[in-house]
Amino acid sequence: MAIKRTVTVATAVASLAIIGATTATGFAGGHDRRPSPTLDRAAAGAVDTYGGARRVDGDQRATIASALKPAGATNVILIIGDGMGASEITIGRNYLVGAGGQLRGLDALPITGQMTHYSVDRKTGKPDYTPDSAATGSAWATGVKTYDNAVSVDRHGTARPTMLQLAKRSGRATGNVTTSEIQDATPAVQVANISLRKCYGPNETSASCPEAALENGGKGSISEQLLETRPDLTFGGGSKTFSQKAKAGPYKDMTLADQARKRGFTYLTKKEDLAKIGSADQRHPVLGLFSEGNMPVKFASLVASKGGAEKAAVQCQANKDFEKVPTLGDMTGKAIDVLSKSRAGQKKGFLLQVESASIDKKDHAADACGQIGETAQIDDAVAAALDFAKKDGNTLVIVTADHAHTSQIVDGATPGLDARLQTHDGADMIVTYGTAPLGGSQQHTGAQIPVAAYGPGAAQVAGLIDQTDLFFTVRDGMNAYRKH
């Protein structure tokens, strides 16, 4: 059986061996704007035939070489699947496109690796092997390990500059997109420095983070710090917190929403507003809050249960509330378009962080369909980023997770909670959750997580890296491009 392939790749150590040969490809020592390949890794044919399940054909060295450009990117797009470990990706692939299928974004990235993730104990500095999203996000945002619940402060409480803040200093346009509340841990780590992730607004901050409260001379809540950090563009949920009033400072007694408008933000709350956005910059940043809390997910809930493996297989259904908000793919595409066309984006480039937040939230709830739908959402976001990066030629796209999670594919009933799904292949897949009882919150797990990249500097994720390496890869890549 003949195998048609546009591009292919090897991983980790093999890829590094090619770097020394890149002079022959014409891009060593400079920036070649010609598009590098992404992957076509769908199975060759029917997976039950000889050679049908193959994803790789031929010698991979030339493809690897063409995917490796020197570090130094005009633009950086960092995409996070919250709780998206290898198991969550595999569950999503099996259900959405089949065992031999290819996720059009996640599976197209040419350079791959594995990433260690752990936090540290606040008192001792020893590793905590099952971290939360605040500590892990702080690690890539600032380059330093910290304790669970901390937002871009180290374990001693010292605020650390984030990659978004550094991108602003370099003159770049900046953006932050999520499907969660914009004050949630992952988006917060780029725009705020605070001791506790739940200090969303002035009310919570006065009670739980008094050292940060404006009335005590602090930097304010996460929402208030977001307004001060002033990304050019922010999309997500979390409008409810913006009804709180500032307790001190020049905007005392004004709601955060009114403060945002007063400070020049274009403040949006409706799905149809997304299409109307034509520009975003420091004079008029865009703040789009499309739900009061976390944004609705793509698929209706299917919560795993005791004995769920013995039930008939089902398929996931659409969530009607999802129609009320923009998709992650649409928000990502709009953010890239606006940031790349802004004056700062044209002159210096841009930094954009994107998160599919509810892979984690639905994994906690043992909601197999909810989890799968949000994996589909991140896949759309990655595809949008790659479409731009291939045309641009100087954009680094990095895709990874903050931590691993609990869902597993098994072959029968377990002592835990199970769900039986009928996949794209027409086959049954049993997904199990075994780290909490029914109604409890499933736990994070400590296994290393996948990381993949495309564009200038992509080789930095090959092999085994640590979460803090992402900060230095992005920082050094932005600095390297400024020198050219």
Q: What is the mean pLDDT of residues 91-108?
A: 97
pLDDT tens digits for range 40-64:
889 888 988 999 999 988 777 877 8
Cβ neighbors of 303 (< 8 A, separation 6 or more) are 365, 366, 367, 368, 417, 419
pLDDT surpassing 60 at residue 372: yes
In the annotation, is 133 catalytic?
Answer: yes
CA torsion sign, 461 to 466 to 471 to 473? Answer: negative
Contacts of 431 (CB under 8 A, 6+ apart): 91, 304, 368, 407, 408, 409, 410, 418, 419, 421
**CB-based contact 139:129 (threshold 8 Å):** no
Nearby residues of 176 by Cβ (< 8 Å), 6 or more positions away:
164, 182, 187, 190, 191, 231, 233, 234, 235, 236, 352, 353
Chain centroid offset of residue 53 CA: 29
Please report where in the chains the tokens 């769920």 appear, as a residue: 308
- CA dihedral (293, 298, 301, 307) in degrees, to 10, reads -140
Give the up-direction half-sphere exposure of residue 134: CA atoms within 13 A in the CB hemisphere: 25
Which pLDDT value is given to residue 338?
98
Alpha-carbon distances of 315 from 312, 427, 476, rounded to whole Å: 10, 11, 45
Residue 6 pLDDT level (bands cut at 50, 70, 90): very low
CA 374 vs. chain centroid, Å, equals 11
What would the mean pLDDT of 436-457 be, rounded to a whole number?
A: 96
Distance, CA of 262 to CA of 415 (rounded, Å) = 56
Average pLDDT score, the chain: 92
Per-residue pLDDT for 2 more than 70? no
What tokens were used for 108?
A: 């197209």
Q: pLDDT > 70: what percent of the chain?
A: 92
Which two structure tokens, joined as six digits, stand for 92?
Answer: 């999503």
Point out which residues pair with 399 in neighbouring strands. Answer: 79, 452
Assess whether pLDDT exceeds 90 at residue 387: yes
Q: Determine the 3-state secondary structure of 351 from DSSP.
A: strand
pLDDT tops 80 at residue 16: no
Tens-place pLDDT, residues 180-229: 999 999 999 999 999 999 999 999 999 999 999 999 999 999 999 999 99
Q: Give tens-digit pLDDT for 24-42.
A: 333 233 456 677 778 888 9
Assess whether pLDDT exceeds 70 at residue 379: yes
Q: What is the DSSP string of 197-225?
A: TT--SHHHHHHH-GGG-GGGTS---HHHH
Tell me what the mean pLDDT of segment 414-428 comes to.
98
Give the chain's domains with CATH numbers: 1-70 (no CATH), 71-482 (3.40.720.10)
**Residue 21 pLDDT > 80:** no
Given this model, what pLDDT does residue 483 score?
54
Indicate the SS3 state at residue 120: strand
Percent of the chain with pLDDT over 90: 85
Q: Give the residue among 417, 380, 450 at the shortest CA–CA distance from 96.
A: 380
Identified catalytic residue from 133, 152, 342, 358: 133
Instruction: Give the contacts of 308 (CB within 8 A, at least 6 positions apart).
Output: 417, 418, 419, 420, 430
For the ranges 234-243, 401-410, 437-446, 474-483, the lowest mean pLDDT is seen at 474-483
pLDDT of residue 482: 66
**pLDDT beyond 90 at 307:** yes
What is the C-alpha to C-alpha distance for residues 335 and 395, in angstroms, rounded to an integer? 14
463 alpha-carbon distance from chain centroid: 20
